[in-house]
Structures are given as C-alpha cells and as structure tokens.
C-alpha cells in the first residue's frame, strides 16, 4: 500500500480538495494500491505571526530551517510514501519524521521551501511545478509591457475628475520593438507565443535552454546577458532564483539598457538589486519598470516604488487567474504517474530517484 498525503499550510482546506474532486483524481492509481490522507501544517504560518505572505517570503529568503512543526503533524506524515505540499516548510525535522517518504511534490514553481540537502540525505526525490502559474503570469507580463508602452498610468483619467490631454509622440509600439527574455522556461515561452503577433523581435538569454526550443518559437538566443540588456526595448525577467543569480539584475546591467527601455519582473524579487533599480528609475537611466514582486511585502509606507511616476507596482498578483488549486495539482499528479510507471520525472529538482 502506497500512502499519499496532501499537506496544507492552512491556505488550502480539505473542503477545497473535495469540492474540486482532487481525491477522485487519484483513483487512477488504485490498481497500485493507494491510501489518501489530508494533513494540515501550520508551522510556517505560526512562525510568521499568522501572515501567509510573510511566511512565504521568509521561506524564499531563509529556507525552511526556522519552521517548527507540531508533534501531531509530524506523526501524520511518518508513514507517507508520497507527499504533495504547497507553501509548507520541509526542513530536516520534516524529513526525519517522514522516514518512509520517497517522493515530495511541491505545488509551486520553485523549491525554496525545501531543504534540498536534507532531501538528498534521506533519499527523497523532490519535484516542482514550474508551469502551474505560467498562463496567468505570461498574460500579466505582456499586460505590463503594453501598459508601460502606452503610458496607461499617466493617461488614465478614471477617478481623476477631469479630461487629460495626451502628449503626442511619447507612446511606443510593440511592432519593431525588441523584447528580451531573461530565462526561457515555461513562462517565458508562453510570453513569446503571446508576443509573436505583435511584430516584435524576440531574444533570450538562457544557458540551460536548447537552441531548437527557442528557434521553434521564433526567438533568437544571444550569447551573453550583456547583449540581452543592451538590445532590449523591454527586458522581462523569467529566471529561477538561485544562490548564484541572486541580485543578478544589478546596476551594471541596468546601465547597459537603453534610456527608452522598460524592465518587467513577474518572477522573483531576489533576482533584482532593488536599490540599483530605484536609482535607475530616479535618474531615468531606463524609461520605467513593471514590478509585481518585492523583497518586502507589503511595501513599507514611503518606499520609492510607491512614489515614483515611472513604475507600475502591483501587489504580487501576476499568478492570480483561474483556479490556482486545480492548476497547481496537475504537475504533482503527473509526477505520481511517473513514479508508479517507473518513468523519468518531468520536473525533478535533485538527483535522487525514488524506488517503489
């Protein structure tokens, strides 16, 4: 018997799963002999004072080492073979308790909330769900480009109580613009598909993407990140956050951009040196930015991002759209399918290979 445990951090309830008939989705695995259970882990939420956004940000910055689990939760996972989780923290305490665990499926694009060294030490395969928010995030990234290009914030008259005359010649066009995609994973590829009809030139820098994949979508790969920043009229960030690329969008790269160029970030806040970006916006080194993710959320009162006139700052909403639970469960179910069939995983994040 293989036990599959769904671990909720408090955001997703057992009723949420039942309404969407997610337990029934697992019926395809009944021939293998499965048992399904639901468990709630409020360790990260409690450690962040009951604030889910703060818990998530802390997990992204610090990892899961600070999370303290209750004895009841640890007992609930001790006989789990497969765990599906969302924003819970999986540190050493987690893996020591789940001593039968073979496969951990994380319902998010990254695994910042997982102690990967502990997973390796306990022989657990960890899989992520990088495409779960790809559709809404791709929509949002393109929306920010269009809004910045057409100067929608400054042209908006709604709620202002008066007609506003536009200034001719300041708005651009996507046609003949060059869009640079920093990273070419699932989201960037969907952005490329959305932009093809606008008549713009698409370029990307991603050392881990094969050229055939980019060429198939009409995207040219450039040899260096510097070339990407120099050529782009819109630079959209879609890289995964790692220790190596933390703060990679720094003052040096921003200074290489055209003064008419815009920076878009719907990925991770840690990819951008925010102080350098504020300086670039204040000095008009670049024309503007569309930013959805920040190192501090919510932004503190008086933060420059809340005062600058050449930025669209949105409260981490790019991934909203559709039913996020149904979107997020697709990848774990697919990985469980691979597990039982003995097939390679789609989004394995470590070297361990779980054996039934």
| Residues belonging to the active site | 268, 297, 316
Q: What are the angstrom distances between the C-alpha of 72 and each of 45, 68, 114?
A: 16, 12, 20
Instruction: Please give the structure tokens belonging to residue 136.
Output: 């809404």
Q: Is 104 exposed, middle or buried (0-12, 13-18, 19+ CB in 10 A)?
A: buried
Return d(Cα 90, Cα 119) in angstroms, integer. Answer: 9
**Strands annotated E in the chain:** 2-8, 34-40, 82-85, 103-106, 125-127, 178-182, 201-205, 220-221, 234-237, 262-265, 288-291, 311-313
Instruction: Please give the structure tokens belonging to residue 314.
Output: 């949105």
Residues ≥6 apart with Cβ < 8 Å to 198: 174, 175, 177
Return d(Cα 232, Cα 254) in angstroms, integer. Answer: 11
Angle, helix 134-149 to helix 186-195, in steps of 10 degrees? 50
User: 49 near 16, Cβ under 8 Å?
Assistant: no
Return d(Cα 48, Cα 33) in angstroms, integer. Answer: 38
Bond before 298 cis per omega within 30 degrees: yes
C-beta atoms surrounding 217 within 10 Å: 17
Q: How many CA atoms lie within 13 A of 212 on its CB side?
A: 0
């Amino acid at each position: 018997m293989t036990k599959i445990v769904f671990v909720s951090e408090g955001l997703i309830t057992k009723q949420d799963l039942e309404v969407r008939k997610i337990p029934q989705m697992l019926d395809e695995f009944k021939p293998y002999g499965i048992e399904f259970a639901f468990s709630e882990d409020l360790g990260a939420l409690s450690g962040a004072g009951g604030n889910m956004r703060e818990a998530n940000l802390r997990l992204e910055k610090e990892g899961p080492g600070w999370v303290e689990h209750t004895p009841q939760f640890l007992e609930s996972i001790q006989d789990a073979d497969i765990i599906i989780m969302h924003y819970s923290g999986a540190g050493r305490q987690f893996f020591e308790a789940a001593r039968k665990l073979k496969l951990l499926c994380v319902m998010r694009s990254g695994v910042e909330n997982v102690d990967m060294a502990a997973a390796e030490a306990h022989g657990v395969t960890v899989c992520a769900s990088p495409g779960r928010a790809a559709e809404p995030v791709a929509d949002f990234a393109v929306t920010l480009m269009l809004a910045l290009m057409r100067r929608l914030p400054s042209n908006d008259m709604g709620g202002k109580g008066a007609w506003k005359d536009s200034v001719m010649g300041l708005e651009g066009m996507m046609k003949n613009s060059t869009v640079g995609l920093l990273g070419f994973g699932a989201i960037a590829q969907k952005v490329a598909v959305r932009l093809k009809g606008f008549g713009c030139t698409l370029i990307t820098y991603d050392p881990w993407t094969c050229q055939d994949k980019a060429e198939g979508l009409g995207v040219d790969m450039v040899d260096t990140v510097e070339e990407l920043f120099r050529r782009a009229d819109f630079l959209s960030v879609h890289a995964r956050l790692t220790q190596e690329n933390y703060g990679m969008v720094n003052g040096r790269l921003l200074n290489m951009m055209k003064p008419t160029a815009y920076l878009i970030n719907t990925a991770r806040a840690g990819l951008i040196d925010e102080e350098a970006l504020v300086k670039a916006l204040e000095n008009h080194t670049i024309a503007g930015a569309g930013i959805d993710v920040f190192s501090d959320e919510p932004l503190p009162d008086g933060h420059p991002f809340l005062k600058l006139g050449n930025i669209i700052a949105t409260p981490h909403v790019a991934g909203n759209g559709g039913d996020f639970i149904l979107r997020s469960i697709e990848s774990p179910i697919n990985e469980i399918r691979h597990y039982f069939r003995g097939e390679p995983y789609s989004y394995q994040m470590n070297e361990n290979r779980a054996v039934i």
